[in-house]
């Protein structure tokens, strides 16, 4: 049985985080066009909420990537869905739901830099640095969280629980 009754981050705290991150982005990219690349599937809600708070011209695109076979990183990036927009010469922001080990995102960053963006930064809703195995640090971080398995606000467990408007801890009973 799965228990998701413990709320780690409330809906109100998520809204405050969105306002904070959007203010940082609006300051750093004031008047400059920005290509926002949401990482599917987990980041779709965060990406949607975030871009509606941005004041600069924004192009939104999505990618779906993986470097894992089961629960083990293969060290090779597999692009399941590529973006449809050419990022050469553009300011690009990768929007991720959560960063834990950082393996997949480090590989993605390396691949996207080869496409010649003017700049490439990373924004995450939730950062779990205790699990990091790379030196990847997000440029924009919503909320730093402890090493707990969480669901809600786009994050899932086997495709479920994405629809919670808060973040909840998963407990196996």
Catalytic residues: 100
Place of tokens 């306002």: 19
Q: Taking the CB of residue 152, how many other CB atoms lie within 10 A of it?
A: 24
Q: Cite the DSSP H helix spans in the chain.
A: 11-28, 44-51, 103-113
- Distance in Å from the first CA to the final CA of the chain: 5
In this structure, which long-range contacts are made by residues 73-76, counting pairs with CB atoms below 8 Å and at least 24 apart in sequence?
73/101, 73/103, 73/104, 75/103, 75/107, 76/107
Contact criterion met (CB below 8 Å) for 91 and 35: yes
- Largest CA-CA distance found in the chain, in angstroms, rounded: 51
């Amino acid at each position: 049985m799965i228990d998701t009754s413990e709320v780690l981050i409330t809906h109100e705290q998520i809204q405050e985080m969105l306002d904070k991150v959007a203010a940082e982005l609006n300051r750093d990219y004031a008047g400059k066009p920005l290509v926002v690349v949401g990482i599917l599937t987990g980041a779709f809600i965060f990406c949607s909420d975030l871009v509606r708070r941005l004041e600069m011209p924004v192009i939104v695109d999505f990618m779906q990537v993986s470097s894992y076979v089961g629960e083990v990183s293969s060290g090779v990036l597999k692009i399941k869905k590529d973006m449809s927009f050419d990022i050469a010469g553009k300011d690009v922001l990768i929007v991720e739901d959560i960063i834990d080990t950082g393996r997949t995102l480090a590989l993605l960053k390396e691949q996207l830099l080869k496409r010649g963006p003017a700049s490439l930064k990373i924004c995450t809703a939730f950062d779990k640095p205790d699990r990091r195995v790379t030196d990847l640090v997000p440029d924009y971080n919503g909320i730093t969280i402890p090493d707990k398995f969480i669901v809600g606000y786009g994050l899932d467990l086997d495709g479920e629980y994405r629809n919670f408007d808060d973040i909840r801890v998963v407990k196996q009973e």
